[in-house]
């Protein structure tokens, strides 16, 4: 899983490529590299570490070494081979005639490598990508074909996932792009600079240059080259060379949405975005007089949706945890038996009966391979597939039969925040939507909708107290273990809270259903093992209070997260975080926020790289 960027046009390519890599760094940041093509010569620069390292290295070069209006670049999340300069992309072929960047995995690379080694090819890296570069070179040499045909033929031999950009010395005004399983977008230059193209793993590096884009589909190869002094784009099928007609999308994302907006980190900005992002998620969808919801994206499938007898909810990481909350909502409001599955497991196990079963796939990025594979499996099983996705035009959004978008704008920090609260909100809204087709009363629908509409203001109220949570972070930053406990809707909240602590603060936090505590985990409790207990004044309040007593009786520290009117807990626990009152089904949306803030502030206190925690990537496009 990596980010790729390409530019071909009249401008100097390298500043555009470096900026593009910075925007794509969320996809991986083990190493970065750039290849420029000028007057038939390649200059390739690569560096282990973040894009900033590469940028510093490049800025020290003289302008001759950096000239070129054609270039490709890459930011890596290691799959084959350790993060190192050697394994960084771009990769040159043996003769140095072809250069390539790749996002994905070539599964049969070892058998191809063996054949190439027998032919005398040498390899400098451990990557599958260098194998592909040499396979293309070998085909070009033996078949005496153009670079696009050589790439196409090579791709008919590989098994796996890829988005690749390829340049060849022999055809210096040509760029080849191909896709199977990994995303790639082509931006078409506008105005005077129409004769230029921008390519990237997603639209964030492109949007400041043009809003006209083409999403390459699986199995397609695109050729950008010069015809009558003008660059043109042609798309063909990898399988049979058939010409495809590109559909040009007009993007609406604004560039300011991509910036930090004055906050020290994207994560904090995105936490504070939540009143607005929740408004955007519900905008235009609440039909109060009917006590229902309108989802334009689902209308075409209303008949199939009415016939659904069961639901499987899938996703990974945060998306699966929000799914756990959705499970309770679907069973309570829609009366549909529901289960939650890891995308990774659903793909590889036997599914007993799929008749009238719908799959709801949740994904911020819309690119998570485990989730995408689950959708493909569900489609084979003839299940109706529905998506809850943030990134418009992403692979999952295009793969599902129908879907709804979060509309929270780009989420850049690796830790999911505004997408997660929006996911919970959309799942509750979906539960109302399904429920109104299955006997949920209009009055009950209206009662929940009224509370949903209040959420942005309640979130603003929580955010006003961020300083109190910053203080708690200073107090608790020294602990290396935490329990996060909840029940019913907030069992999922506890899991999500613990994931935030792990990924941002590097603290071992265990999200646990508090009823389970007494069945084993409680033996871990001592004065160095604090618990965050999600104990709002809801149907589980008394049970949760018992869990607190059990922990206190064993000398454990407790931070209680409770409803603002609750006065009794402050005398029992060590610290209290208050959230405003709302319906039980909506509490997770409010309870997520103090957890996000606590994980954020502890991460800052510990000096971690908040937006790009170690070993992680924003979008996990490998299995
Ligand atoms: O883009 P997705 O929602 O499909 O991503 C799924 C997980 O990789 C993601 O939620 C991950 O767990 C986040 N880093 C959590 O903050």
Q: Which residue has the tokens 């409790």?
A: 525
- Nearest C-alpha to atom 14 of ligand 1 is from which residue? 415
Q: Does any ligand 1 atom lie closer than 6 A to the CB of residue 370?
A: no
Q: Does any ligand 1 atom lie closer than 6 A to the CB of residue 416?
A: yes
- Confirm or reject CATH 3.40.50.10490 for domain 261-453, answering yes or no: yes
**Predicted structure pTM score:** 0.77
- Nearest C-alpha to atom 4 of ligand 1 is from which residue? 363
CA atoms within 13 A on the CB side of 240: 2
392 CA distance to ligand 1 centroid (A)?
16
Q: Which atom of ligand 1 is nearest to the CA of 365?
A: 1
Write the CA distances from 187 to 5, 210, 412, 521, 621, integer angstroms: 11, 6, 20, 53, 22
Distance CA 113, CA 157 (A): 12
Same-fold call for 261-453 versus 465-623 = yes
Q: Does any ligand 1 atom lie closer than 6 A to the CB of residue 557?
A: no
Distance CA 430, CA 449 (A): 12
CA atoms within 13 A on the CB side of 355: 1
37 CA distance to ligand 1 centroid (A)?
36
Is residue 285 a contact partner of residue 426, using CB atoms and an 8 Å limit?
Answer: no
Q: Which atom of ligand 1 is nearest to the CA of 619?
A: 1
User: Domain 3-257's class?
Assistant: alpha beta
pLDDT of residue 9: 95
Active site residue 618: yes
Instruction: Please list the helix, strand and coil fractions of the chain in percent, rounded to the nearest 5, in that order.
Output: 40, 25, 35
Q: Does any ligand 1 atom lie closer than 6 A to the CB of residue 619?
A: yes
Rg (CA), the chain: 26
pLDDT of residue 262: 74
Domain at 465-623: CATH code: 3.40.50.10490
Active site residue 512: no
Neighbouring C-beta atoms of residue 210, cutoff 10 Å:
21
Q: Which residue has the tokens 């199939």?
A: 304
Judging by DSSP bridges, how do beta strands 481-486 and 508-513 pair with one another?
parallel
Q: Which atom of ligand 1 is nearest to the CA of 317?
A: 12
**According to DSSP H, which parts of 349-488 are helical?**
369-380, 395-399, 418-436, 442-464, 466-476
Distance CA 93, CA 90 (A): 10
Quote the tokens at residue 519.
């069945």
- Nearest C-alpha to atom 10 of ligand 1 is from which residue? 318
Q: Is the peptide bond before 47 cis (omega within 30 degrees of 0)?
A: no
Q: Does any ligand 1 atom lie closer than 6 A to the CB of residue 599?
A: no
- DSSP annotation string for 89-155: SPEE-TTS-EEEEEEEEETTHHHHHHHHHHTT---SSS-HHHHHHHHHHHHHHHHT--HHHHHHHHH
Domain boundaries defined on the chain = 3-257, 261-453, 465-623
Closest by CA position to 451, among listed 622, 278, 310, 334: 278
Residue 574 burial (10 A CB sphere; 0-12, 13-18, 19+): middle
Q: Which of 77, 346, 368 to mutate to test the pocket of ligand 1 (most atoms within 8 A of CB)?
A: 368
Average pLDDT per consecutive 10 residues, the chain (623 residues; last block may be shorter): 92 96 84 94 93 92 87 87 88 98 92 97 95 98 97 96 96 96 92 82 92 95 91 96 93 71 89 94 94 94 96 98 98 97 93 92 96 96 96 88 91 95 98 97 98 98 97 97 97 98 96 92 94 97 95 96 95 97 98 98 96 88 82
């Amino acid at each position: 899983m990596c980010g790729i960027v390409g530019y071909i046009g009249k401008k100097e390519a390298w500043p555009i490529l470096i900026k593009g890599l910075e925007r794509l760094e969320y996809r991986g940041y083990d190493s970065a590299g750039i290849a420029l093509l000028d007057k038939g010569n390649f200059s390739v620069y690569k560096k282990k570490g973040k894009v900033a390292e590469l940028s510093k290295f490049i800025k020290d070069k003289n302008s001759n070494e950096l000239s070129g209006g054609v270039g490709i670049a890459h930011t890596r999340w290691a799959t084959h081979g350790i993060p190192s300069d050697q394994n960084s992309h771009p990769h040159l072929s043996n003769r140095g005639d072809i250069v390539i960047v790749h996002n994905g995995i070539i599964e049969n690379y070892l058998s191809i490598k063996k054949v190439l080694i027998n032919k005398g090819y040498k390899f400098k890296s451990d990557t599958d990508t260098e194998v592909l570069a040499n396979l293309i070179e070998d085909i070009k040499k033996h078949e005496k074909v153009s670079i696009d045909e050589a790439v196409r033929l090579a791709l008919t031999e590989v098994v796996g996932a890829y988005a690749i950009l390829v340049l060849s010395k022999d055809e210096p005004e040509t760029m080849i792009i191909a896709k199977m399983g990994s995303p790639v977008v082509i931006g078409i230059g506008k105005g005077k600079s129409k004769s230029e193209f921008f390519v990237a793993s997603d639209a964030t590096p492109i949007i400041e240059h043009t809003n006209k884009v083409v999403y390459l589909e699986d199995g397609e190869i695109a050729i950008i080259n010069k015809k009558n002094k003008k660059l043109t784009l042609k798309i063909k099928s990898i399988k049979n060379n058939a010409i495809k007609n590109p559909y040009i999308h007009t993007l609406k994302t604004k560039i300011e949405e991509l910036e930090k907006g004055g906050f020290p980190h994207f994560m904090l900005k995105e936490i504070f975005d939540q009143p607005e992002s929740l408004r955007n998620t519900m905008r235009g969808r609440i039909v109060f007089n009917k006590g229902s919801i309108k989802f334009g994206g689902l209308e075409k499938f209303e008949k199939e949706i009415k016939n659904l007898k069961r639901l499987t909810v899938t996703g990974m990481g945060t998306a699966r945890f929000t799914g756990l909350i959705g499970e309770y909502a679907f069973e309570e409001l829609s009366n549909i038996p529901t289960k939650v599955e890891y995308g990774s497991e659903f793909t590889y196990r036997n599914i007993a009966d799929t008749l009238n079963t719908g799959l709801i796939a949740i994904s911020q990025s819309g690119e998570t391979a485990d989730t995408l594979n689950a959708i493909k499996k569900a489609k084979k099983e003839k299940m109706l597939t529905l998506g809850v996705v943030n990134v418009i035009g992403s692979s999952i959004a295009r793969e599902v039969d129908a879907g709804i978008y979060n509309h929270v704008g780009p989420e850049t920090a690796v830790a999911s925040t505004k997408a997660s609260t929006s996911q919970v909100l959309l799942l509750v809204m979906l539960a109302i939507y399904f429920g109104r087709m299955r006997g949920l009363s209009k009055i009950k629908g209206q009662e929940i909708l009224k509370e949903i509409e209040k959420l942005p203001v309640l979130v603003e109220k929580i955010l006003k107290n961020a300083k109190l949570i910053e203080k708690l972070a200073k107090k608790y930053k020294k602990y290396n273990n935490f329990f996060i406990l909840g029940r019913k809707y907030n069992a999922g909240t506890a899991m999500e809270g613990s994931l935030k602590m792990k990924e941002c603060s590097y603290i071992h936090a265990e999200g646990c259903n508090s009823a389970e505590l007494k069945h084993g985990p409680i033996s871990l409790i001592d004065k160095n093992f604090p618990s965050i207990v999600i104990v709002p004044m809801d149907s589980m309040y008394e049970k949760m209070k018992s869990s607190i007593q059990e922990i206190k009786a064993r000398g454990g520290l407790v931070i209680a997260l409770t409803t603002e009117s609750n006065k009794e807990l402050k005398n029992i626990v060590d610290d209290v975080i208050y959230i405003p009152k709302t319906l039980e089904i909506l509490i997770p949306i409010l309870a997520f926020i103090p957890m996000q803030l606590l994980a954020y502030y502890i991460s800052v206190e510990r000096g971690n790289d908040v937006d790009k925690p170690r070993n992680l990537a924003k979008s996990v496009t490998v299995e």
